């Protein structure tokens, strides 16, 4: 037997074994590569570009090129009355919408859980269907509901002598946006919390009943502690979504009356795409990201399970 054949026989199995050992690791990268490429192209690259842009002064319609100003955009935002007014409007929405969404969805989930299993599908679908509408359709629909002259709500309220300035009063406009958002977003949180409630073992409630625990004690000592991870997820995602509110206010009120519903994302949009101040808009985006991260961390720490 020649030396060439001996090399093939001697090294062939080793190469095969090496390839078999490396294949699981290599195949994982092959399968995840399309996602990583798209993630880098359409998410990571724009994020890094926006971060770099926030340190430049650049107006798209100006013939002057972008020039470095360091922290100038952030300094301008933090000393801008309009920035803080829009931030305050966003905070008002978050403080009203998040507790209402989590509380009502939890109540609905616990209520639906008491219904017979074959009838639960109807209620799940009923509460989830509004979320399937696009924000433009839902916004236009509720704009008609809220109309002060021929809107559906005031048409019924006038029969009992009540007329509410839903969108024309600074004290009612943000509340109206919150009510609309509850109708539109409540279903998704309800379905998630219902799934979390149904994962709790019935044996826990049976043992509690033997010990004499009633519904209230079972709620606070079994249901809520067991649902803590799901409640944390729903709360944090609602906080993030509430900070990013834009479509409701832009379609229904355009930020009025008197800028009472001009939230931060709408102000960023107007600054960047209507006034073409891209660097300043990018800086405000990163300040919004900092606000969201801060509130999310605080919520995680507040609801962190104590060991």
184-229 pLDDT, tens per residue? 999 999 999 999 999 999 999 999 998 888 889 999 999 999 999 9
pLDDT value for 290: 94
**Total number of domains constituting the chain:** 2
Whether residues 78 and 141 share a domain: the answer is yes
Instruction: Confirm whether 60 is domain-assigned.
Output: no
pLDDT value for 20: 62
Whether residues 37 and 91 share a domain: the answer is no
Instruction: Confirm whether 198 is domain-assigned.
Output: yes
Contact 257, 168 (CB under 8 A): yes
Structural domain range at position 32: 3-43
CATH number of the domain enclosing 215: 1.10.3720.10
Contact 118, 255 (CB under 8 A): no
Rounded CA gap, 89 and 108, in Å? 28
- Burial environment of residue 244 by CB neighbours within 10 A (0 to 12, 13 to 18, 19 or more): middle
Weakly modelled stretches of the chain, pLDDT under 50: 1-10
Terminal Cα-to-Cα distance of the chain (whole angstroms):
69
pLDDT value for 59: 85
pLDDT value for 5: 45
pLDDT value for 106: 96
* CA angle (163, 168, 170) in 5-degree steps: 110
Tokens of 251: 């379609």
pLDDT value for 302: 79
pLDDT value for 88: 97
State the DSSP code for 68.
E
pTM metric for this prediction: 0.86
Report the DSSP beta bridge partners of residue 56.
68
Instruction: Confirm whether 19 is domain-assigned.
Output: yes
Query: Residue 77's closest CA among 242, 268, 243?
Result: 268
Torsion of CA 171, 176, 181, 187, to 10 degrees: 120
């Amino acid at each position: 037997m020649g030396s060439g054949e001996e090399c093939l026989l001697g090294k062939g199995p080793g190469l095969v074994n090496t390839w078999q050992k490396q294949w699981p690791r290599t195949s994982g990268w092959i399968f995840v590569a399309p996602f990583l490429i798209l993630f880098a192209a359409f998410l990571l690259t724009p994020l890094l570009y926006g971060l770099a842009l926030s340190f430049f002064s650049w107006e798209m319609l100006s013939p002057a090129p972008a020039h470095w100003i360091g922290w100038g955009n952030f300094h301008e935002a933090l000393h801008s009355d309009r920035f803080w007014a829009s931030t305050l409007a966003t905070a008002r929405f978050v403080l009203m919408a998040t507790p209402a969404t989590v509380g009502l969805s939890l109540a609905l989930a616990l209520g639906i859980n008491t219904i017979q299993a074959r009838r639960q599908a109807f209620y799940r679908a009923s509460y989830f269907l509004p979320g399937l509408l696009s924000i433009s359709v839902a916004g236009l629909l509720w704009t008609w509901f809220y109309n002060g002259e021929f809107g559906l709500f005031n048409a019924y309220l006038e029969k009992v002598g009540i007329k509410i300035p839903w969108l024309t009063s600074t004290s009612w406009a943000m509340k109206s946006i919150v009510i609309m958002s509850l109708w539109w977003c409540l279903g998704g949180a309800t379905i998630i919390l219902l799934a979390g409630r149904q994962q709790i073992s019935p044996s826990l409630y049976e043992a509690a009943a033997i010990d004499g625990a009633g519904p209230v004690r079972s709620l606070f000592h079994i249901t809520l502690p067991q649902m803590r991870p799901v409640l944390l997820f729903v709360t944090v995602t609602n906080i993030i979504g509430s900070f990013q509110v834009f479509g409701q206010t832009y379609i229904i009120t355009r930020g009025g009356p008197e800028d009472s519903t001009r939230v931060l994302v709408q102000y960023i949009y107007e600054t960047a795409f209507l006034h073409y101040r891209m660097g300043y808009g990018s800086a405000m985006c990163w300040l919004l990201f900092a606000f969201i991260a801060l509130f999310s961390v605080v919520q995680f720490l507040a609801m962190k399970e104590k060991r």
